[in-house]
Amino acid sequence: MKVLVADKISAKGVACLRQQAGLTVVEAYGSTPAQLLELVKDVHAIAVRSESKITAEVLAAAPLLKVVGRAGVGVDNVDVEAATERGVIVMNTPTGNTIATAELTFTHILAGARPLAQAAASMRAGQWDRKNLSGGELFRKTLGIVGLGRIGSEVAKRAQAFGMRVLAYDPYLAPSRAKAMQVEAVALDELLAQADYITVHMPLTDATQYLIDEAALAKCKRGVRLFNCARGGIIKESALIAALKSGQVAGAGLDVFETEPLAKDSELRTLPNVVLTPHLGASTAEAQDAVGLEIAEQICDVLAGGIIRNAVNMPSIDAAGLKILGPYLDLGEKLGTLVQQVAPPQVASLRITYWGKMIDLDVTAVTRSIQRGWLRRISGDSVNFVNAPLMLQRLGVKLDVVKSTDDTDYTELIAVEAVAGDGSVHSARGTLLGKTARPRLVELNGREVEAEAHGKLLIIENHDEPGMIGYVGTLLGKDKVNIANMSLSRQRPGETALMVINLDSEPSAAARKELKSHPAIKLAKFAQL
Instruction: Find the catalytic residue in 260, 269, 286, 465.
Output: 260
Residue 443, beta-bridge partner list: 429, 448
pLDDT in tens, 196-217: 999 999 988 888 999 999 999 9
Helix, strand or coil, per DSSP, at residue 8 = coil
Asked, as a colleague might, if the bond just before 519 is cis with ω within 30 of 0, I would say: no
pLDDT of residue 381: 64
Task: Give the residue ranges of the chain where pLDDT is below 50.
Answer: none
Active site residue 279: yes
Instruction: Find the catalytic residue in 201, 231, 377, 426.
Output: 231
Instruction: Find the catalytic residue in 86, 114, 279, 447.
Output: 279
pLDDT of residue 325: 83
pLDDT of residue 386: 58
pLDDT of residue 64: 95
Task: Please name the residues in contact with 486: beta carbons below 8 A apart, sequence gap of 6 or more.
Answer: 469, 499, 500, 501, 502
pLDDT of residue 319: 59
Task: Please name the residues in contact with 37: beta carbons below 8 A apart, sequence gap of 6 or more.
Answer: 57, 58, 61
| C-beta neighbour count of 289 within 10 angstroms | 16
Residue 439: C-alpha distances to residues 247, 333, 335, 499 (Å): 54, 10, 9, 18
Backbone torsion region of residue 147, taken as left when φ is above 0, otherwise alpha when ψ lies between -120 and 50, otherwise beta: left
pTM: 0.73
| C-beta neighbour count of 211 within 10 angstroms | 19
Active site residue 461: no
Contact of 416 with 443, CB cutoff 8 Å: no
Active site residue 454: no
Helices 285-303 and 98-113 pack at an angle, to 10 degrees, of: 160
pLDDT in tens, 129-153: 998 899 999 999 999 999 998 899 9
pLDDT of residue 320: 65
pLDDT of residue 44: 97
Helix, strand or coil, per DSSP, at residue 529 = coil
pLDDT of residue 382: 62
Domains and CATH numbers, the chain: 1-96+283-314 (3.40.50.720), 98-276 (3.40.50.720), 315-447 (3.30.1330.90), 455-529 (3.30.70.260)
Q: In angstroms, rounded to a whole number, what is the distance separating the alpha carbons of residues 140 and 164?
A: 5
Q: In angstroms, rounded to a whole number, what is the distance separating the alpha carbons of residues 59 and 434?
A: 31
pLDDT in tens, 60-108: 999 999 999 999 887 889 998 888 878 788 999 988 889 999 999 999 9
pLDDT of residue 315: 67
Q: In angstroms, rounded to a whole number, what is the distance separating the alpha carbons of residues 529 and 377?
A: 10
